[in-house]
Amino acid sequence: MFARKLAAATLATALTVLPAAVMTGARAQAPAQTPATGGASETYRLLNLFGEIFEIVRSDYVEEVQDRKLIEDAINGMLTALDPHSSFLNARSYRDMQVQTRGEFGGLGIEVTMENGLVKVVSPIDDTPAARAGLKPNDFIVQLDGEAVLGLTLQEAVEKMRGPVNSAIKVTIRRGDQPPFDVTLNRAVIRIQSVRSRLEGDIGYVRITSFTEQTDSGLRDAVTKMREQAGNKFKGLVLDLRNNPGGLLDQAIAVSDAFLERGEIVSTRGRRQDDAQRFNARAGDVLNGLPLVVIINGGSASASEIVAGALQDQRRAILLGTRSFGKGSVQTIRPIGNQGAIRLTTARYYTPSGRSIQAQGIDPDIVVEQARIEVTQQGPQRREADLRGALRNEQARPAQPGTAEAENQPEAQDYQLARAFDLLRGVALYIQRNN
């Protein structure tokens, strides 16, 4: 049996039924033994009960219902009752998920989960209709085209948010204590460029938006190009994992491995002892030991937390930002013939120090809340050079138009990112002075 594991933040829908976590190959497994508390006869009795109720609904419900819908809904109900990340994927949803993990899918561009019967936004995906409309992590979607979300399963809500490209959908949002408000979004083909990069003077910046099949290669290419461009002046890298909901497990491992010379990256433990797996780094650091700062926040989930936890525990990076989402489980995708697949939580994952971050999240080394940077207005400042008769500095150089610090400030409005660059410059300067 073919199976792939997900370590994703949540159910991404296509809008995003995106990978929810980490994916790896998995062998077929024998079914677990029937619990001693029940026994085979009890199981058959309960199955007969299901069959009896199925026939009653099929024959007496006020409207005719297709058998397929009843069965699929029953299966999905069984799985979603286990935890928020287990679910049934019909054939269409399964095909969508396979497309999404390759980095392209159709929808609104938001990663979502279900909380208290409502659809909760984990994070909008960069440069998508949801991101451009201003949707934010922790927003709740309470209505879709005027229809209440309460009472729908996550999969049903996702299906309603899908539709033809360029078609519109009105989404009612509840944000904090504000009154609910409507946002109209036009569906689009979502192409995820999972790695974005740029060089800020002598420091590299890489943002990973999700972990797809192209993430590791995209990261290595980006770092190589920036190092070639900066030459010997290259001082280090800021890795931005904010609002990254997760993705493929093997890509999270590969990204962690890119910065580590040795040591454990992550381990997973399932129901049976022989299900345990441990993943270790191979020699080779794309930065050759240069400083690394990783930014996380409440939208950093699953595969993002694997990377952050590995680099933190192995003391390879300084984590800055706010506490991560806290999804510490692994989902396995198991195809069911040509009927679709089930997404089943099969393991928990642990950081190298043995931490389970399930429902806890990862705390950054330096807590920096997001804030808005404003330049305060000050009166004229008198300096020594302004005093009458001040001594001349024989070593004075011609005034330069702007300081290097001002020129290299990354996106002045992004307070967390600005602090990350400041931190990395400080670490790099300290290393340089002590070598």
* Catalytic position from the list 96, 216, 257, 313: 313
* Catalytic position from the list 210, 256, 300, 302: 302
CA dist 49 and 56 (Å) reads: 11
Q: What are phi and psi of 159, to 5 degrees?
A: -60, -40
Of 265, 269, 285, the C-alpha closest to 277 is 269
Could you tell me where the beta strands, DSSP code E, fall in 222-290?
Answer: 236-240, 246-248, 264-270, 277-280
- 170 tagged catalytic: no
- 302 tagged catalytic: yes
Of 417, 363, 328, 360, the C-alpha closest to 84 is 328
- 327 tagged catalytic: yes
State how far the alpha carbon of 183 is from the alpha carbons of 16, 119, 168, in Å.
18, 15, 10
Q: What is the DSSP letter of 275?
A: G
| Cβ atoms within 10 Å, residue 268 | 23
Could you tell me where the beta strands, DSSP code E, fall in 93-162?
Answer: 104-107, 110-115, 118-124, 140-144, 147-148
CA dist 213 and 102 (Å) reads: 6
CA dist 341 and 332 (Å) reads: 10
In the block, residue with structure tokens 């610090």: 405
Of 198, 207, 256, 259, the C-alpha closest to 226 is 198
User: Known catalytic residues?
Assistant: 302, 313, 327
